[in-house]
Amino acid sequence: MSNSLLILPGDGIGPEVMAEVRKVIDWFGARRGIAFDVSEDLVGGCAYDAHGTPLTDAAMEKAQSVDAVLLGAVGGPKYDKLDFSVKPERGLLRLRKEMDLFSNLRPAVCFDALADFSSLKKEVIGGLDIMIVRELTSGVYFGEPRGVFKEGNERVGINTQRYTEGEIARVARSAFELARARNNKVCSMEKANVMESGILWRDVVQEIHDAEYPDVELSHMYADAGGMQLVRWPKQFDVIVTDNLFGDMLSDVAAMLTGSLGMLPSASLGAPMANGRPKALYEPVHGSAPDIMGTGKANPIACILSFGMALRYSFGKGEEADLLERAIDKVLADGVRTADLMQAGDKTPATTAEMGDAIVAA
Ligand code: NAI
Ligand code: MG
């Protein structure tokens, strides 16, 4: 099977971190004989500058046809005053919406060399490797009715949490599949104690489990208690599956347990395509970081790890993804640090390119 990849570097530090991913892709081609059919296009502010839209129809079509899309970041102060309809973020939102990427994967992994970097104690965080699966296309961010309305002589703000059985079932399957490839354990989080949509969520997850994944260990937890458990003893979890709103918060909490924004990858997956691979968009969690753009301070690891997730979830290259993660582990253990990973006593930071080169060498 060929491996087609669309690269959308975007704005700010996006192109800078993507240049380091290119080195990794070239290494896999030269040293492991894995050919990637790579194309590149514009997204975000740079696409607006060139075409008057943050994502052209041609780029959208390309994204729909490839095995995986890898995006850097979009946005920047230059575009803050643009009309809402052409803002850089709209390019990213269009990709997520038209590809129907309902399952958002956010790993929280503690690299040994960075265990001191966490706000939690080393024994709590050391060896952590969990995955949060957040429903991304429904729930309270999309439900109708919504808006600010006048009721008598005061205003009311309304958003609606709405989930269909099908929407819950597909993200639950995504979590159970992941668990089977990991440690066979899923914890589902909602607020079934106070929300009817939470009762349905719990019921559907349990039903999918009993009918299709009885081999996976399933537990349920209220999302607020889940937040406490995440900072108390995160290693009790393997895969967590939750809705859009709770997932937004819990994935940010879990991710920051392990250190810098410059280290965090993500994947957003949709339904399987004709070749069996899921529609997929991979991107670092961070934004375009205009404050450090052009200074060589950007940490490329989040974007490189996002490519690692593409290796694992789109290209069927789990061993290669492991290899890449081990290389990053080694580089960090050797003390190579970009500016965002510096601690008191560290020497001069590595530049973006030096970090990329060190990972390729490792
Ligand atoms: P940001 O993530 O770009 O930056 C937050 C802070 O983290 C900054 O101090 C930045 O220098 C630092 N940082 C981020 N990534 C880093 C990396 N790889 N290495 C080292 N340091 C890093 O978020 P911010 O400042 O709120 O937004 C900046 C722009 O990015 C805005 O236009 C925003 O709309 C956009 N944005 C885009 C996202 C995306 O493309 N997915 C996500 C978040 C923000
Ligand atoms: Mg968020």
Instruction: Kindly report the pTM of this predicted structure.
Output: 0.95
Tell me the per-residue pLDDT of 99-150, one tens digit each, with 9 for 90 and over: 999 999 999 999 988 888 888 999 999 999 999 999 999 999 999 999 999 9
- Between 41 and 259, residue with greater pLDDT: 41
Alpha helices in 148-190 (DSSP H): 165-180
Distance CA(52)–CA(58), nearest Å, equals: 14
- Between 254 and 295, residue with greater pLDDT: 295
Catalytic annotation, pick one of 37, 116, 215, 252:
252
What pLDDT score was predicted for residue 47? 98
Give me the chain's average pLDDT, please.
96
Tell me the per-residue pLDDT of 186-216, one tens digit each, with 9 for 90 and over: 999 999 999 999 999 999 999 999 999 999 9
Q: Which atom of ligand 1 is nearest to the CA of 71?
A: 40
Q: Is the pLDDT of residue 20 over 90?
A: yes
The SS3 call for residue 198 is: helix
Contact 341, 301 (CB under 8 A): no
What pLDDT score was predicted for residue 295? 97
Across 229-251, average pLDDT:
96
What pLDDT score was predicted for residue 346? 76
Question: Could you give the domains of the chain?
Answer: 1-111+259-362 (3.40.718.10), 129-256 (3.40.718.10)
Contacts of 15 (CB under 8 A, 6+ apart): 9, 72
Across 331-353, average pLDDT:
91
What pLDDT score was predicted for residue 220? 98
Across 17-40, average pLDDT:
97
Count of Cβ atoms closer than 10 Å to residue 19 Cβ: 16
Decide if 340 is catalytic. no
Distance CA(57)–CA(313), nearest Å, equals: 26
Contact 268, 107 (CB under 8 A): no
Q: Whose CA is closest to 36, among 67, 9, 62, 60? A: 67
Looking up tokens 């939470």, which residue turns up?
Answer: 198
Q: 222: annotated binding-site residue?
A: no
- Ranges assigned E (strand) in 308-351: none
What pLDDT score was predicted for residue 82? 95
DSSP 164: -
What pLDDT score was predicted for residue 256? 83
Looking up tokens 């390729």, which residue turns up?
Answer: 360
Contact 232, 224 (CB under 8 A): no
Both tokens assigned to 290: 């205009």
What pLDDT score was predicted for residue 267? 98
Q: Is the pLDDT of residue 14 over 80?
A: yes
Decide if 112 is catalytic. no
- Between 5 and 85, residue with greater pLDDT: 5
Task: Decide whether any atom of ligand 1 lies within 6 Å of the 261 Cβ.
Answer: yes
Looking up tokens 């979890």, which residue turns up?
Answer: 237
Task: Decide whether any atom of ligand 1 lies within 6 Å of the 298 Cβ.
Answer: yes
Both tokens assigned to 228: 């406490």
Q: Is the pLDDT of residue 10 over 90?
A: yes
DSSP 113: G
Across 333-343, average pLDDT:
92
DSSP 236: G
- H or E segment at 260? none
Task: Decide whether any atom of ligand 1 lies within 6 Å of the 292 Cβ.
Answer: yes
Contact 9, 40 (CB under 8 A): yes
Looking up tokens 């997520």, which residue turns up?
Answer: 96
- Between 239 and 120, residue with greater pLDDT: 239
Distance CA(263)–CA(236), nearest Å, equals: 22
Strand partners, 143: 160
Q: Whose CA is closest to 194, among 171, 229, 173, 223? A: 223
> With pLDDT > 90 as the criterion, what percentage of the chain qualifies?
91
Q: Which atom of ligand 1 is nearest to the CA of 283?
A: 41
What pLDDT score was predicted for residue 113? 87
Tell me the per-residue pLDDT of 245-290, one tens digit each, with 9 for 90 and over: 999 999 989 888 877 889 999 999 999 999 999 999 999 999 999 9
Q: How many residues are there in the chain? A: 362
Contact 136, 103 (CB under 8 A): yes
